[in-house]
Amino acid sequence: MAMPLDGVKVLDLTRVLAGPFCTMMLADMGADVVKVEEPTKGDEQRSTIHYRRTVDHDFFYPYNRNKRSVAVNLKKPEGKEIIYGLAAKADVAVENFAPGVVKRLGIDYETLSGINPSLVYCSISGFGQTGPYRDRKAYDGIIQAMSGVMTATGFEDGPPLRFGLMVADVTGAMMAAYAIMNALYYRERTGRGQYLDVAMMDSLLTMWTTQAAEYFSVGRNTRRMGNELFHRVPSSCYKAGDGRYLQLVASTQRLWEMLTQLLGIPEAASDPDMNSQPARLKNREKVNALVTERLKVKSAAEWVEYLSEGGIPCGLVQTLDEVVADPQVIHREMVTTLDHPVSGKIRQFGIAPKLSKTPGQIRMSPPLLGQHTAEVLSELLGYDGDRIAAMERDDAIRCNPRVSAV
């Protein structure tokens, strides 16, 4: 079956998280992604926490499927020559080194676009390639803090709280993939490549929605609201009779009136303290206390089923083992199993967007370090076996994965 990015060649110079997640998104949609790694260690995530056997790379697996690994020593002239050869044939190059590093390595946009003027070259960094923070080191939590996201996360009487997932990294990755697709479409019409500067900080700022509207309208800073929406009541995480939690949102007047009927408190709909959204916002604690008291009579799962059938938006707060067993998640094929040459069966979350005519596919498991070096050099650059063997002897490349050393 055809895939949207069939025939698109991606030179992947990324490592750790934001860059690899971006290139995996392209690979999932059919792009031929050649991941360039340092021959002795590879991507840093290969050596981050192994939960199982020594050779497992649990942190490397989730965002490196569908790629081919080429292990190249950029400090060797032959290694640099390989990168230039791959760039000449690539449609896209992606890197997420600290600003300035690719210039020192001789693999920056100016150099590679000189070889291939139609190349779309994307740089992902914490703060961008320009500005006073350009050279600052950036991790996901740093970006969450400086973007203001942590001031909107947590409870009002507690400290700022980091969002539990790598939201800055992943948002930056998605913005980079979005930018690349736009640049490829532009190139399709004009034949011209371009440089893309994607900052995690910029990307995370775009997630500010209703709170930003409030700030830009009246100058009011956001405040931490825990699990509640600042402009809607009731909308929170409530504890049911069995001690489990459910998230419930009755954000309109009609939903509030429906909820009061379903909870057996129809009189609350006409209570002056609760009969309108402004009144409920003013009396938030009273509304939440009433809802919490009523939810004590059933389990969280019973309430979710009952209220959902009644048209109230709600959901059980689930652990990961419950998520992967959820019938909706299973139906949407959002948990997939891959065969890995070392780790055997590994599970991952699947591809989110469902395209009717050109769906994405998971075709390959995450590669071993250097697993495809010989294949790529032969297929894309025309190197013969003797030349490849000589380069490996000279430590310019790594071909046959030495599993025990990975």
Same domain flag for 31 and 169: yes
Please identify, among 290, 324, 358, the residue that sits at the C-terminal boundary of a domain: 324
Number of domains comprising the chain? 2
Strand partners, 13: 95
Note if the bond before 39 is cis, omega within 30 degrees.
no
- Asked if residue 216 is part of any domain, the answer here is no
**pLDDT on residue 48:** 77
Same domain flag for 247 and 178: no
Same domain flag for 282 and 261: yes
Separation between Cα atoms, residue 15 and residue 98, nearest integer Å: 11
What single-letter DSSP state applies at residue 362? -
Domain extent for 13: 9-206+333-405
Give the list of residues 6+ apart from residue 108 with CB closer than 8 angstroms, or none: 102
What is the bridge-based pairing of β-strands 245-249 and 314-316?
Answer: antiparallel
First CA to last CA distance, the chain:
34
Please identify, among 324, 342, 372, the residue that sits at the C-terminal boundary of a domain: 324
Same domain flag for 30 and 169: yes
- Asked if residue 345 is part of any domain, the answer here is yes
The closest alpha carbon to 241, from 318, 284, 302, belongs to 302
Same domain flag for 154 and 14: yes
The domain that contains 243 carries what CATH number?
A: 3.30.1540.10
Handedness of CA 195, 199, 202, 208 (dihedral sign): positive
Same domain flag for 116 and 161: yes
| The two three-digit tokens of residue 263, written as one number | 């909870």
Same domain flag for 341 and 305: no
Instruction: Write the CA distances from 133 to 98, 102, 128, 129, 204, integer angstroms.
Output: 12, 18, 8, 9, 16
Same domain flag for 270 and 401: no
Give the list of residues 6+ apart from residue 196 with CB closer than 8 angstroms, or none: 120, 121, 122, 123, 176, 179, 180, 183
The model carries a pTM of 0.93
Strand partners, 93: 11, 121
Residue 92 parent element (H or E): strand 92-95
The closest alpha carbon to 156, from 217, 227, 231, 234, belongs to 227
Separation between Cα atoms, residue 367 and residue 406, nearest integer Å: 11
Same domain flag for 316 and 358: no
What is the bridge-based pairing of β-strands 92-95 and 120-125?
Answer: parallel
**pLDDT on residue 52:** 60
Q: What is the pLDDT along the chain (406 residues), one digit of tens a residue?
A: 789 999 999 999 999 999 999 999 999 999 999 999 999 999 999 987 666 655 557 889 999 999 999 999 999 999 999 999 999 999 999 999 999 999 999 999 999 999 999 999 999 999 999 999 999 999 999 999 999 999 999 999 999 999 999 999 999 999 999 999 999 999 999 999 999 999 999 999 999 988 898 899 999 898 888 888 888 899 999 999 999 999 999 989 999 999 999 999 999 999 999 999 999 999 999 999 999 999 999 999 999 999 999 999 999 999 999 999 999 999 999 999 999 988 889 999 999 999 999 999 999 999 999 999 999 999 999 999 999 999 999 999 999 775 443 3
Please identify, among 324, 344, 377, the residue that sits at the C-terminal boundary of a domain: 324
**pLDDT on residue 59:** 86
Separation between Cα atoms, residue 161 and residue 314, nearest integer Å: 24
Is there a catalytic annotation at residue 6? no
- Asked if residue 214 is part of any domain, the answer here is no
- Asked if residue 185 is part of any domain, the answer here is yes
Same domain flag for 189 and 125: yes
The domain that contains 372 carries what CATH number?
A: 3.40.50.10540
Same domain flag for 308 and 342: no
Separation between Cα atoms, residue 248 and residue 233, nearest integer Å: 10
**Three-state DSSP class for 337?**
strand
- Asked if residue 100 is part of any domain, the answer here is yes
- Asked if residue 220 is part of any domain, the answer here is no
Same domain flag for 27 and 92: yes
What is the rounded radius of gyration, in angstroms, for the C-alpha atoms of the chain? 26
**pLDDT on residue 405:** 37
Q: Please identify which of the residues 135, 157, 169, 395 carries the catalytic annotation.
A: 169
Whether the Cβ atoms of residue 294 and residue 264 lie closer than 8 Å to each other: yes
- Asked if residue 221 is part of any domain, the answer here is no
- Asked if residue 60 is part of any domain, the answer here is yes
